[in-house]
Chains A and B, each alone.
Chain A
Amino acid sequence: MHSELNAQLAFHLTGVRGAAGLEPVEGLALQPALLAPYRDLGALRYDFPLVFTKDAVRPLSELVDEALKDVADERVRARALRREREIRARVSGGLGGRLGSLWDIEPKLADGDLADCDAALPGRFVLNAWNRVQAARAGAFHAEADGLIARLAGILAADHVHSDAGRTAEALARSLAARDDSFDTAALSRLLARALPERRLPAARRNRIRSALAVLKARPSYHFVFENCAAALRALQERRPALIDLAKAMAVARLEAGGEYVEAVHDAVFREFGESAVDPALAPACLVRLDARGLLAPENAGLGDLLASRLPVKILVQHEDILDWSAVANTPAFGARARAVAGMALGLNEVFVLQSSASDLYRLSSRITQAFEYAGAALFNVFCAPYLVAAAAMESRAFPAFSYDPSAPHAARFSLENNPQPERDWPLHPLSYEDAEHQRVSEETPFTLMDFVACDRRYAEYFARIAPGRANGEVPSLPMVDAGNRLHRVIVGDPVAREARRCLDAWHSLQARVQRKTFVEERTVAAPVAAPPPVAEPEKPAPASDAAYIETPRCTTCEECVKINGRVFVYDANKQAHIADIKAGSYRDLVEAAEACQVSIIHPGRPLDPGEPGLEELLQRAAPFL
């Protein structure tokens, strides 16, 4: 037993398969035991193939389920499901095509291009989302620009009508659509010239409108999809002056159309109008599609420049192999390149980052749309491989999914929600098998990076099969199955185990970001902004009982009192009456106003002049209002 352990340890540490009992795995066609149920993908219904319909991207299975929702006929249902299976097999065999040409049976499905989980998918998927977001944005932009053109042209046309040139007999004939000589436009022209002097817009305004109009009419059309950073950078630099001109013309046009351009204020603003004033939503986002293998020094620098530009540049970096080998040391560096790219974007703090395997892109559709709608740069870091490999990369944390949305509140920016069991180190799944005594055994088994690496034959030398029941806690091992579904135990070499530990550590770092999020939430909850104490309305000192006063806040502006004496009773800024100058009228005015007041809020008090005629009668009339 001791020698077995030593042999296993020796293999683990050195890769030397010296002793008996350690068999190479090459040729055994082993695969991780947890993947055994998925060996024949064609028989399973899952997210692929995807159908790129006119309006959305949907899994074929979802379209079929929707169409069969109200179909009760079992034969129709069976035929549809059979056809779905045939199409899935065809697409996974590398044949795409249009769904419409393959689905000639009832019920009818929306037509669209079929796509499998392959190297072409991320580019296609992201381009599709870009097209949809840009179509909506471009539609809104062009509608606004066209509306502004119409408004500005209308202002110039009105100006022309008021000019001498616009009032010639010929111009009037055109504007009246005169068809014969029943209308004497020459006489009308003479009449207008005599009656109305020429009223033109100020020349500065006319020129401003004309130049804004010219820029809006000549808005250029550009190509926005690039296959490398250098081309994108070059295009962005070349287009910058035109973009600034367009943004300026839009801003001027909005103000002019609304009659809100104030030369004293806005002339100075537009003289200094620069890039910082450009609304990032104005220009369509550039889409750059990159292959991670091409990210050599100059391109890598370009990627950094683009991400840091704060411009709406959306970059797809596609990784077709994440089991990299270090370029410097002769050791594995699994996922390092992908982590470096994502880390650079995350470090910039203002970049929308979305990382996922191609297998899960469909489930992240809404996040992808958000990334395109985000005003700044976005990075899509995508691992593409055949479906099972891509899904296993996510399952094993080799390529975890996450998103970082800088436009969200701090506590909601980072998300790991699309990963399987994100709260655990490794996802756990039940593994059931029959043991040597033909008894059913079920145990929770983690799916780790080592399982993912074990799928890749390039790394077979780091795995060795051991005899059943010979596994021990000292050397990491995996359950694997062969083509006959027999369970084997395979021990793992240290380079792979070490990579698993690094992978787990990276995963913990991602989890820590979520925990930081919780911390931010707690801090926000713990320290609420203290509500200002309610400000008590200051009690106004009660007027002396012999002074006249008005309960101004209750005044209904009925005009009665101001009509009686507009110097005594005056409206305030809220058009409510108050006594402005009591000496400007008599006690009679006060009493009559109190009687006329519709809401009885005038209190005449005691008379100032004891010699006023008829005072006795007035005091009696005033009594109800004191």
Chain B
Amino acid sequence: MNECLLRLHDERFELEDYQSGVPRWCSGCGDNAILAAVQKLCRDESLHPEKTVFVSGIGCSSRFPHYMKTYGFHGIHGRALPIAEGVRMARPDLHVFVNTGDGDCCSIGAAHWVHAVRYNMDLTVLLHDNEIYGLTKKQASPTSPRGTRSNTTPRGAHLEALNPLTVTLGIQNVSFVAQAVDWIPEVLYQIVKAAFHHKGFSFVRILQRCPEWLPELFEPYVKDPRKTLLLKHKDGLQLSEAIARTYSNNREHDPASLAAAREMATQVDPIPVGILYRNEAVPCYEDLRRTTKVRTADLIRSGLEAEFDKFTVWPCTRN
């Protein structure tokens, strides 16, 4: 009955229903493409804005919630994931997205990232990986390729870049890992959609151009379609005729195989794009641990009182 009632009241949304302000990202920034893909997903899935929340940390990517006309939480550096986990635990009725950058997730937030993968809570995590700290004007991030010259590495980065895909795929309970690039919008949309529909921690690394600080980093890949390897499968990415024609470098990859995913994740050139791994059978932490207690106002008040009482210093009696 209720479903019928809900259908009666179903609303159609337009892209504008999710747009909030004009993004302050630099012209040409790849974040715009991610924003467009996510807004399109919200519209196509008819996500109610008041039932959707975007949580972010700090960085260019993390301005994302400001540009979505939904609930948002612009958190503190590296802490997007714990905040999102709290939201997911307390409000299972919300669609929770996380926008994080390569610095936010893979440096200061690395510990949270590792454990969030293991917890496998139902979150759609978009790692905007431009391989540089852009907001603070060009410092090397953990994913900057070796040799990247930046304000903190004027002679070039000394270390090999951290690979977020292999790290994620190495963690217990990993359930969804994909890689997308901002410059193939159709594929980006398809991957974000698959991530949204996955029940569990869906981790999408999106290689994102930073035309301001690393304008040449992805240019060869943007210009030459053969430098992108599209991973297609009946349970993964399905290529339209137009995409298959342009990106002829594609191959079958079964997202069910963790070993194959790990092998594919190590590849850097050509860039593998698609769903590397998906396992619906991994349990979600919130399902294992969610309380069955009804959170009434009294229960919340008494819990808070109990916590506050631990720190209360009772005032002295006035003379």
Residues of A within 8 A of B (CB): 143, 146-147, 149-150, 153-154, 157, 180, 182, 247, 250-251, 254-255, 258-262, 265-266, 269, 277-279, 536-537, 553-560, 563, 573-576, 596, 598-600
Contact = CB atoms under 8 A, between A and B. Distances in A.
Contacts of A537: 240-242
Contacts of B30: 556, 558, 598
B292 interface: yes
Given A157-B297, A537-B241, A573-B15, A557 B35 contact: yes
B9 A262 contact: yes
A558 to B, nearest CB: 5
B186 A553 contact: yes
Interface in B225-251: 240-242
Interface string B156-190: 00000000000000000000000000111110000
A251 B14 contact: no
Contact of B297 (A143, A153, A251, A596): A153
Interface in B26-54: 27-30, 32-33, 35-36, 39-40, 50-51
B296 interface: yes
Contacts of A247: 1
B187 to A, nearest CB: 11
B82 interface: no
Given A150-B294, A598-B28, A598-B209, A251 B5 contact: yes
Given A573-B14, A575-B39, A150 B2 contact: no
Nearest to A146: B294
A276 to B, nearest CB: 9
Contacts of B310: none
Contacts of B40: 574-575
10 closest residue pairs by CB, A with B:
A556-B33, A557-B36, A146-B294, A575-B36, A558-B28, A150-B296, A557-B32, A598-B28, A262-B9, A277-B1
Interface of B: 1-2, 5-6, 8-9, 14-15, 23, 25, 27-30, 32-33, 35-36, 39-40, 50-51, 93, 182-186, 209, 211, 222-223, 240-242, 292, 294-297, 315
A555 B182 CA distance: 10
A598 B211 contact: yes
B296 A153 contact: yes
Contacts, number: 107
B185 A557 contact: yes
A143 B33 contact: no
Which of B35, B241, B294 gathers most chain A CB within 10 Å?
B294
Contacts of A154: 297
B201 to A, nearest CB: 25
Contacts of A258: 51, 93
Contacts of B6: 255, 260
A559 B27 CA distance: 6
Given A260-B9, A574-B15, A598-B183, A143 B1 contact: no
B93 to A, nearest CB: 7
Contact of B36 (A146, A150, A576): A576
Nearest to A179: B315
A292 B240 CA distance: 65
Contact of B9 (A153, A266, A556, A559): A266
Nearest to B246: A554
Given A258-B51, A575-B36, 7 more contacts: A157-B297, A277-B1, A537-B241, A573-B14, A573-B15, A576-B36, A596-B27
A413 to B, nearest CB: 25
Contacts of A554: 183-185
Contacts of A553: 185-186, 242
A47 B28 CA distance: 75
A545 to B, nearest CB: 20
Given A573-B14, A598-B183, A558 B32 contact: yes
Contacts of B35: 557
Which of B33, B35, B223, B315 gathers most chain A CB within 10 Å?
B33
16 contacts: A250-B2, A255-B9, A266-B8, A269-B5, A536-B241, A537-B241, A556-B33, A556-B182, A557-B36, A557-B185, A558-B29, A558-B32, A574-B15, A575-B36, A598-B209, A600-B222
